[in-house]
Structure 1
Amino acid sequence: MIELDDTDRALLRAMQGDGNLSAAGLAKKIGLSQPATWRRIKRLEDANVILGRHLVLDKEKLGFGVTVFLGIKLATKGRVGLADFERAVAAIPEVQLVQHVLGLYDYRLKVVARDLSDFERVLRRRIMTLPSVGNVEANVLLSEEKRPLAL
């Protein structure tokens, strides 16, 4: 774990607040010079504190009107079964998130689709045919009140 000081934390907050800010813009916001800010960003990237910068798209405006969370219990377990499932599910473009979880299900997936019939196609043809898939439970997202972007 890397040691973070107050300036590092302020820098990370500023970057999470506006990912488009340049090093000069960030420097102005946190009260450092541009070169010092750039060096801090580079240090945080090299330490894998900053893993990347992402563009957030409006999925509905792009035609993806349905989001479904799936709980998946594998029929067979073991290192090979888990690895085969993870490799196969990662290749499905509609699957936005794969979480290996502890509890009733082994995995939780976030799946986007154009509509319910498109989701049904993805479920039947892609997800239910994955290696080791046993029980599947679907929860359709009705609304989203807060998008958890910042730590």
Structure 2
Amino acid sequence: MTIELDDIDRALMRALCVDATQSAGALGRDFGLSQPATWRRIKRLREAGVFGPRRVDLNLEQLGVGVTVFLGIKLATKGRVSLEDFERAVSAIPEVQTVQHVLGVYDYRLRVVAQDLPDFERVLRRRIMTLPGVGNIEANVLLSEERCIGPI
């Protein structure tokens, strides 16, 4: 079931995507609404499932993470290794931030972070390449990233 959205709902969503800590009062002032009216709109969007779980966006550079690499992984032996076994094993690697099961050339797409390229090479050789069923791997190093709000 989809929710009916008007221009103000879309503007509220865009504003919250940029800074989710904004108060309903501040948002209301920006959009010509009262604080209670803004709060009711946000509550309706939340209850409709428009907003996912709240997360903290970490500054990886401040934490010593200097490189992000996207890996495309093609499993060599799908029949002998279950997808659940691969997913469980790869999810246990602390440097792996996301595991996406995808359709296309590769079976999985991973987002991997490391201190630097030698650290990434260590993770790749010792942890990822030794996972059950791993066949071909393609790596793409992240150069820059822009946050796009999406189709709202």
Same fold by TM-score greater than 0.5: yes
Amino acid at match of 1:150: I
Alignment-derived partner of residue 125 in structure 1: 126
Q: Distance in 2 between matches of 1:46 and 1:84?
A: 35
Alignment-derived partner of residue 23 in structure 1: 24
Q: Distance in 1 between matches of 2:122 and 2:64?
A: 16
Asked if 2 retains the 8 angstrom alpha-carbon contact of 1:72 and 1:105, the reply is: yes
Q: Distance in 1 between matches of 2:131 and 2:24?
A: 44
Asked if 2 retains the 8 angstrom alpha-carbon contact of 1:14 and 1:29, the reply is: no
Give 1:71-110 correspondences, 5 Å limit: 71-77=72-78, 81-110=82-111
The runs of at least 4 aligned residues of structure 1 exceeding 6 Å deviation read none
Amino acid at match of 2:146: R
The 1:83/1:117 distance shift into structure 2, 3 A limit, reads same
Alignment-derived partner of residue 135 in structure 1: 136
How many residues are paired up?
A: 148
Q: Distance in 2 between matches of 1:31 and 1:93?
A: 45
| Runs of at least 5 residues in structure 2 that lack an aligned partner in the other structure | none
Q: Residue 47 of structure 1: CA displacement?
A: 1.8
Deviation digits for residues 82-110 of structure 1 (CA, Å, limit 9, x no counterpart): 22222322222211222222221111111
Deviation digits for residues 87-134 of structure 1 (CA, Å, limit 9, x no counterpart): 322222211222222221111111110112211221122212323221
Q: Residue 75 of structure 1: CA displacement?
A: 1.7
SS in 2 for 1:56: coil
The 1:99/1:148 distance shift into structure 2, 3 A limit, reads farther
Amino acid at match of 1:77: K
Q: Residue 45 of structure 1: CA displacement?
A: 1.5
Asked if 2 retains the 8 angstrom alpha-carbon contact of 1:73 and 1:107, the reply is: yes
Asked if 2 retains the 8 angstrom alpha-carbon contact of 1:89 and 1:130, the reply is: yes
| Aligned alpha-carbon RMSD (Å) | 2.0
Q: Distance in 2 between matches of 1:85 and 1:3?
A: 40
Deviation digits for residues 50-101 of structure 1 (CA, Å, limit 9, x no counterpart): 11344333322321111111110012336x7222222322222211222222
| Runs of at least 5 residues in structure 1 that lack an aligned partner in the other structure | none
TM (norm. structure 2) is 0.84
SS in 1 for 2:43: helix
Q: Distance in 2 between matches of 1:73 and 1:56?
A: 29
Alignment-derived partner of residue 150 in structure 1: 149
